[in-house]
Amino acid sequence: MQTDFLVIGSGIAGLTYALKVAEACPGKTVTILTKTQSDETNTKYAQGGIAGVMDFDKDSFEKHIEDTLIAGDGLCNPAVVEIVVREGVERIREIIEWGAKFDKDKDGDFALGREGGHSEFRILHHKDVTGKEMERALLEAISRKSNIQLVSHCFVLDIITQHHLGYLVTKSTPDIECYGVYVLNLSTNRIEKILSKITLLATGGNGQVYRTTTNPAIATGDGVAMLYRAKGRIENMEFIQFHPTALYEAGVRGQSFLITEAVRGDGGILRNHNGEAFMERYDERKDLAPRDIVARAIDNEMKISGTEHVYLDCRHFSKEKFTEHFPNIYEKCLSIGIDITKDMIPVSPAAHYSCGGVKTDEHGRTSVGNLYAAGECASTGLHGANRLASNSLLEAMVFAHRSYLDAVKKIEGVNFHTGIPDWSIDGTNAPKEMILITQSVKELKLLMSDYVGIVRNDERLQRAMKRLDLLYTETEALYQKTIVSPQLCELRNMITVAYLIVKCAGFRKESRGLHFNTDYPHRNARAQQIIL
Ligand SMILES: Cc1cc2nc3c(=O)[nH]c(=O)nc-3n(C[C@H](O)[C@H](O)[C@H](O)COP(=O)(O)OP(=O)(O)OC[C@H]3O[C@@H](n4cnc5c(N)ncnc54)[C@H](O)[C@@H]3O)c2cc1C
């Protein structure tokens, strides 16, 4: 199969880009691939909203830029911050035109929320299901475009480059190019080759590398792992944002339900097992301190008490106000027997957002030719060492737009590559036991949570690397002799992503932003990106 524009991922980044290239080039084909259902994405679960300067009487681009730079702790690219904040407002207007609805107040103005780290009210939201609303609007707009084909249940295995033509490709190869991808079509169970002129990686985050995460099962870092295998540039992988307040449900593993920090913005109070409101001991901003500070405080309280969670107290809220703003959270808590008007909500930190990823320039271009990246899998320079809440949906749309502008200029000069071999299954057999995969996934998540979580030190990182090495060796051996499956490929990708996180964490001999290492509790004078 051949397609002019190939898009890997159907979240906000992939869909925004696809709509734009399809609109600009009606005679060209656009194919979106997604590994499960089309709406099963991190995007769908975004609750809080999207940040954008809307009220120019009180707010300004300068203030949003400053808040973003402060959160990024010296590692943001200021030019990129400026681009995202200034261009983001136009992108928000576009998605409204495509049909996304954001809550308004009784005067018809946007009901803007405020989250930790923001100096003003600037978060547009749709109740507490903003991402679901944006995903809905985008998918509906996509369905109206005749030159877009959206193929669900299609697992991308690898990016095709000169390596697949038999050339030796290394990190120093100057002109690595992307010719398309190999995919496992889960509807036919066949491995297919899709050739493309231009490809966008929009594969989302990697929270599944950890035992507790707010990310859905699809978030296994496939795009970052594929790019790394293709010898592309990756950066800043050590900066994993842990959301302080995921709903704690004993025995439940996989995707944790998020309790948005807007609940703390509205007055929710964190309490430890003695009922003490502990945040004032950690930061003068108390419960509204930045996420990393709150997450570390909770982690410390849990370690002191030896428990697996703390509590979020909302008992003082009026039920009407809570259900009006957070209907989804209210229902979820009630479904597991927690009445927020009488009971405190058990919460614990969970892996939430990957600030680093595939290194891009200001046009979304990766180090591999004809390959762009946008959304959570990309590292554009916006977030630096820590993401400001609700900046990621904005970044995804801005960089989808910038990638589109560059790609449509370029496409006429790109031809399909010929002579690319089909995927070979020679020497591989059906997997004998799934336990070889599922047990390794468990081990991986445990070691990442215990050794490479919110608080790190050199000894833990070294132990993590040794254990990862063993998992890598065993999994590569299995991969060589087994017919590929999504489970095996995801394990392989997660091991790669975990390796990249540990490697970057090991190189960073300081504590900065989301990376806290007790052996180096202070920031270095010079801020440095870690690029692999
Ligand atoms: C619970 C939660 C709440 C959040 N709240 C907010 C918020 O309020 N504001 C905010 O700005 N951000 C928020 N975020 C972060 C934000 O939602 C994500 O960063 C953003 O949606 C990522 O969009 P994306 O397009 O990059 O990727 P995603 O939306 O995750 O989409 C990834 C796509 O890639 C596909 N894919 C991945 N691997 C493969 C493969 N191998 N083959 C084929 N397809 C593949 C997936 O199937 C999926 O379609 C939240 C995240 C979570 C999890």
DSSP for 248-299?
A: P-TT--EEPPB--THHHHTT-EEE-TTS-B-GGGT-TTGGGS-HHHHHHHHH
Q: Which of 469-472's residues contact partners 24+ apart within 8 Å by CB, and which partners?
A: 471/440, 471/443, 471/444, 471/495, 472/499
pLDDT digits (tens, 9 = 90+) for 80-129: 999 999 999 999 999 999 999 999 999 999 999 888 788 999 999 998 89
Ligand 1 in reach of 10 Cβ (< 6 A): yes
Ligand 1 in reach of 399 Cβ (< 6 A): no
**Closest Cα to atom 41 of ligand 1:** 156
Q: How distant, in Å, are the alpha carbons of 193, 248, 283, 302, 442 from that of 287?
A: 51, 18, 8, 16, 32
Ligand 1 centroid to Cα of residue 255, in Å, is: 13
pLDDT above 70 as % of the chain: 100
Ligand 1 centroid to Cα of residue 137, in Å, is: 15
Index of the ligand 1 atom closest to the CA of residue 13: 25
- Residues belonging to the active site: 291
Ligand 1 centroid to Cα of residue 44, in Å, is: 7
Q: Whole-angstrom Cα distance, residue 34 to residue 38?
A: 6
Index of the ligand 1 atom closest to the CA of residue 215: 53
| Helical ranges in 59-159 per DSSP H | 61-72, 78-97, 130-143
Q: Whole-angstrom Cα distance, residue 269 to residue 277?
A: 7
Q: Which of 428, 493, 425, 485 is nearest to 155 (CA)?
A: 485
Give the pLDDT confidence score for residue 432 in this predicted structure: 82
Q: Which of 145, 174, 143 is nearest to 161 (CA)?
A: 174
Ligand 1 in reach of 52 Cβ (< 6 A): no
**392, 401, 496: residue to mutate for ligand 1 pocket, most atoms within 8 A of CB:** 392
**Closest Cα to atom 50 of ligand 1:** 46
* CB distance 220 to 180 below 8 Å: no
Q: Whole-angstrom Cα distance, residue 258 to residue 247?
A: 6
Q: Which of 196, 256, 233, 201 is nearest to 28 (CA)?
A: 196
pLDDT above 90 as % of the chain: 88
Ligand 1 centroid to Cα of residue 167, in Å, is: 34
Ligand 1 centroid to Cα of residue 138, in Å, is: 14
**Closest Cα to atom 20 of ligand 1:** 43
**32, 33, 42, 134: residue to mutate for ligand 1 pocket, most atoms within 8 A of CB:** 42
Q: Whole-angstrom Cα distance, residue 233 to residue 231?
A: 7
> Which residues, including other chains, have CB under 8 Å from residue 271's CB and lie 6 or more apart?
277, 278, 310, 311, 312, 313, 344
Q: Which of 91, 49, 66, 101 is nearest to 404 (CA)?
A: 91
Mean pLDDT of 218-246: 97
Mean pLDDT of 515-520: 96
Ligand 1 centroid to Cα of residue 178, in Å, is: 23
Give the pLDDT confidence score for residue 424 in this predicted structure: 86
* CB distance 353 to 345 below 8 Å: no
Ligand 1 in reach of 15 Cβ (< 6 A): no
Ligand 1 in reach of 185 Cβ (< 6 A): no
Give the pLDDT confidence score for residue 266 in this predicted structure: 87
Residues in the chain: 532
- Residue 221 has which token pair? 């870092």
Mean pLDDT of 199-212: 96
Ligand 1 in reach of 203 Cβ (< 6 A): yes
Instruction: List the single range of 27-31, 60-64, 283-287, 495-499 with lowest mean pLDDT.
Output: 283-287
With a cut of 90, say whether residue 375 has pLDDT above it: yes
State whether residue 246 is helix, strand or coil. Answer: strand
At 513, is the pLDDT very low, low, confident or very high (cuts 50, 70, 90)? very high
Ligand 1 centroid to Cα of residue 38, in Å, is: 12
DSSP 8-class letter at 529: -
Ligand 1 in reach of 256 Cβ (< 6 A): no
Q: Whole-angstrom Cα distance, residue 490 to residue 496?
A: 10
Ligand 1 in reach of 46 Cβ (< 6 A): yes
* CB distance 492 to 479 below 8 Å: yes
Ligand 1 centroid to Cα of residue 12, in Å, is: 7
Backbone angles phi, psi at 202, to 5 degrees: -140, 55
- Residue 167 has which token pair? 């050339």
**Average pLDDT across the chain, whole number:** 95
Backbone angles phi, psi at 429, to 5 degrees: -130, 165
Q: Whole-angstrom Cα distance, residue 315 to residue 338?
A: 11
Ligand 1 in reach of 156 Cβ (< 6 A): yes
Ligand 1 in reach of 17 Cβ (< 6 A): no
Ligand 1 in reach of 38 Cβ (< 6 A): no
Index of the ligand 1 atom closest to the CA of residue 375: 26
DSSP for 485-523 reads -HHHHHHHHHHHHHHHHHHHHHH--S-BTTB-BTTS-S-
At 499, is the pLDDT very low, low, confident or very high (cuts 50, 70, 90)? very high
Q: Which of 177, 156, 71 is nearest to 118 (CA)?
A: 71
Q: What is the pTM of this model?
A: 0.94
- Residue 298 has which token pair? 């909770």
Ligand 1 centroid to Cα of residue 420, in Å, is: 31
pLDDT digits (tens, 9 = 90+) for 239-252: 999 999 999 998 77
Index of the ligand 1 atom closest to the CA of residue 130: 8
Give the pLDDT confidence score for residue 147 in this predicted structure: 97
Backbone angles phi, psi at 503, to 5 degrees: -60, -50
- Residue 456 has which token pair? 């790190």
Tell me the chain's radius of gyration from C-alpha atoms.
Answer: 22
With a cut of 90, say whether residue 462 has pLDDT above it: yes
Ligand 1 in reach of 403 Cβ (< 6 A): no
Q: Whole-angstrom Cα distance, residue 191 to residue 186?
A: 9
At 425, is the pLDDT very low, low, confident or very high (cuts 50, 70, 90)? confident
Exposure of 286 in the CB half-sphere (CA atoms within 13 A)? 11
Mean pLDDT of 7-22: 98
pLDDT digits (tens, 9 = 90+) for 140-194: 999 999 999 999 999 999 999 999 999 999 999 989 999 999 999 999 999 999 9
Mean pLDDT of 374-399: 97
Ligand 1 in reach of 33 Cβ (< 6 A): yes
**Closest Cα to atom 4 of ligand 1:** 46
